[in-house]
Amino acid sequence: MTAKEIEACWADPRNRRWGLYRCPADPRVIVPKQVRWMGWTLNFARPSAIPVMLLLLAVLTAPVTIVSASGADRGVMLLTAAGSGIVLCLVCAYLSSTARYDIRDPTDS
């Protein structure tokens, strides 16, 4: 599937119901929200959507929990939370990108 086909699936309003994105043809698990600047959402047609959601939640909360359990002060906890949030955003941006699927056909000139 090319990046254009993926974008066409994402733009199709029939793939959104009750605020959830569900498109079996879209190979991405994480996709941009309908208003892109608002973040990302999951493609609930993918079987791996729930495990990915739990993994991302763990990436966000585990470092903060470990730091707070070690007795760190509030500043360190805030820096850890900010770092976890930045990592989460970078991972979501990478996984929702269509550039990974834009593979050129060698027969095209």
Any domain includes 57: yes
Domain range spanning residue 47?
3-101
For the whole prediction, is pTM greater than 0.75? Answer: no
Any domain includes 106: no
Number of domains in the chain: 1
Any domain includes 108: no
Any domain includes 37: yes
Any domain includes 78: yes
- Chain segment 48-87, per-residue pLDDT in tens: 888 988 998 998 899 999 999 998 899 999 999 999 999 9
| Residue of 83, 18, 100, 24 lying closest to 10 (CA atoms) | 24
What is the DSSP track for 7-40?
A: HHHHH-GGGEETTEE--TT---SEEE-SSGGG-E
Query: Where do we find the tokens 């079996």?
Result: 24
